[in-house]
Amino acid sequence: MSPHLSPARRVRTLVGVTVGAAALALVAACTGTPTPSETTGAAGAPGGNLVIGMTSDPNTLLPWKATQFQAVNILQNVYGTLTEFDKDLNVVPGLAQSWDPSADGKTVTLKLRTGVTFADGSAFDSADVKSSMDKIMDEKTAAVARTSLASVASVAAPDPSTVVLTMKSADASLPANLASVNMAMLSSTDTDEKLGTTPNGTGPYAFKARTPSQSLTLQKSASYWGTKATLDSVEFRVIPDETSIVSALQSGSVQMAVIDDPLVAKTAEGGTLKVAKTPQLSYHALQLNARKGDLSVLIITHKFAHVTKYADDFTVLRTGKLVGQGRVADYKPSQMAEMMIGNQTTATIASRTNGHPHVAQL
């Protein structure tokens, strides 16, 4: 969600419906007279500060355990990964300049960038990679990406710029798996207790300050190995209601936000704000346990629906107004009713027992 990251990171941060992303200076300039902390630099010029509105405070500052949208978007600006994704989702070098598998796929040799430092000034090297990967693979760590390293048997650091992975089996997905912020490389000397309050990474931004449930501020990292961030600082300000975020955008106290509700996003269109829509790799799933007795008509109420499907004992009825977001994916009702659906959906699922429908409402 940071407005100026290296191209490899930008695709992972700008998701959902973004308000004000097309021209940050334009939003600030057209919404009254902002305070210095709310002002970005002139268009195209480096410097300035950005305030981003978000609905929730990050629930963790530990990248290995982050699954919440807000936490992931903040931490991926602070921490570096061995590989990254470019704008077309190709895997490109990150902290690892190269990764070379052996002919039989039994080993993978990673060559690391030299001269990389963490935000606290300590040097990054192979010892940090080995420490990070060993801890991620350790079940006691409870890392959410532990299974991404299921094919790795051991990690060795023969010299400061080289890491050798011994594989249980060849794994073509490994380079892509290493690009997740949940696979961030941490300093071997840091602890969970320390990082839980003061993140310390190799990314384009460094942690500056946090007021729980109110705001978190990042500052530009002068020692970042890649393309330097344009902004001097970014404040993530907590505003629980998206409608209130739009009001803050219109007043100029916030310059950028991610809006999930398409109806709220429509209220931001026009006037002084610009709305940019980008697809996101996400889905909403409804799962029913068919082993817990007879299923009945279940009404899951959101706001729109459009398609009727009949299969086995299940009927999916979507009615109402389609806002143009999301789609219905195929599912196997013989196993469980699982639908991948877009935002704001109304679904009715029906089943029959002995040919007679049973009705229950959620």
The per-residue pLDDT for 243 is: 93
> Of the candidates 216, 248, 278, which is a domain's last residue?
278
Same domain, yes or no, for 49 and 108? Answer: no
> pLDDT tens digit string along 45-88?
678 999 999 999 999 999 999 999 899 999 999 999 999 999 88
Same domain, yes or no, for 13 and 40? Answer: yes
Same domain, yes or no, for 337 and 315? Answer: yes
Identify the residue with better confidence: 242 or 325.
Answer: 242
Tokens 């530009």 belong to residue: 220
Same domain, yes or no, for 260 and 287? Answer: no
Sorted by sequence, the CB contacts under 8 Å of residue 355 that are 6+ apart come out as: none
Written as six digits, the tokens of 28 are 């600030």
Same domain, yes or no, for 72 and 91? Answer: no
The per-residue pLDDT for 77 is: 95
User: CA-CA distance, 255 to 29, in Å (whole number)?
Assistant: 10
Same domain, yes or no, for 327 and 299? Answer: yes
The per-residue pLDDT for 324 is: 54
Written as six digits, the tokens of 338 are 């699982």
The per-residue pLDDT for 154 is: 97
First to last CA, the chain: 35
**Is residue 327 pLDDT above 80, yes or no?**
no
> pLDDT tens digit string along 276-302?
887 666 656 666 666 665 554 444 433
Q: What percent of the chain has pLDDT over 70?
A: 64
Band (pLDDT 50/70/90 cuts) for residue 328 is low
Residue from 288, 289, 283, 311 nearest 299 by CA: 288
> pLDDT tens digit string along 306-316?
333 333 434 44
DSSP letter (8 states) at residue 233: E
**Would residue 159 count as lying in a domain?**
yes
The per-residue pLDDT for 309 is: 39
Written as six digits, the tokens of 206 are 């460094």
Written as six digits, the tokens of 134 are 């060993």
**Would residue 92 count as lying in a domain?**
yes
The per-residue pLDDT for 226 is: 94
What does the buried/exposed string (b/e) look like for 64-79 if buried means 16 or more CB atoms within 10 Å of the residue's CB?
A: bbbeebbbbbbbbbbb
Q: What's the average model confidence in pLDDT over 339-359?
A: 38
**Would residue 198 count as lying in a domain?**
no
Identify the residue with better confidence: 23 or 113.
Answer: 113
User: CA-CA distance, 99 to 109, in Å (whole number)?
Assistant: 5
**Is residue 356 pLDDT above 70, yes or no?**
no
Same domain, yes or no, for 180 and 207? Answer: no
User: CA-CA distance, 55 to 176, in Å (whole number)?
Assistant: 30
Band (pLDDT 50/70/90 cuts) for residue 269 is confident
**Would residue 133 count as lying in a domain?**
yes
Same domain, yes or no, for 179 and 109? Answer: yes
**Is residue 343 pLDDT above 60, yes or no?**
no
User: CA-CA distance, 133 to 130, in Å (whole number)?
Assistant: 5
Sorted by sequence, the CB contacts under 8 Å of residue 221 that are 6+ apart come out as: 119, 203, 204, 205, 206, 229
Same domain, yes or no, for 95 and 163? Answer: yes
The total number of structural domains in the chain stands at 3
The per-residue pLDDT for 291 is: 67
Identify the residue with better confidence: 51 or 353.
Answer: 51
Give the least confident one: 25-29, 194-198, 214-218, 285-289: 25-29
Same domain, yes or no, for 209 and 184? Answer: no
DSSP letter (8 states) at residue 44: T
Same domain, yes or no, for 246 and 294? Answer: no
> Of the candidates 140, 164, 190, which is a domain's last residue?
190
Segments forming the whole domain that contains residue 154: 87-190
User: CA-CA distance, 216 to 60, in Å (whole number)?
Assistant: 12
Q: What's the average model confidence in pLDDT over 248-276?
A: 87
pTM: 0.70
Same domain, yes or no, for 68 and 213? Answer: yes
> pLDDT tens digit string along 79-136?
999 999 998 889 999 999 999 999 999 999 999 999 999 999 999 999 999 999 999 9
> Of the candidates 190, 214, 229, which is a domain's last residue?
190
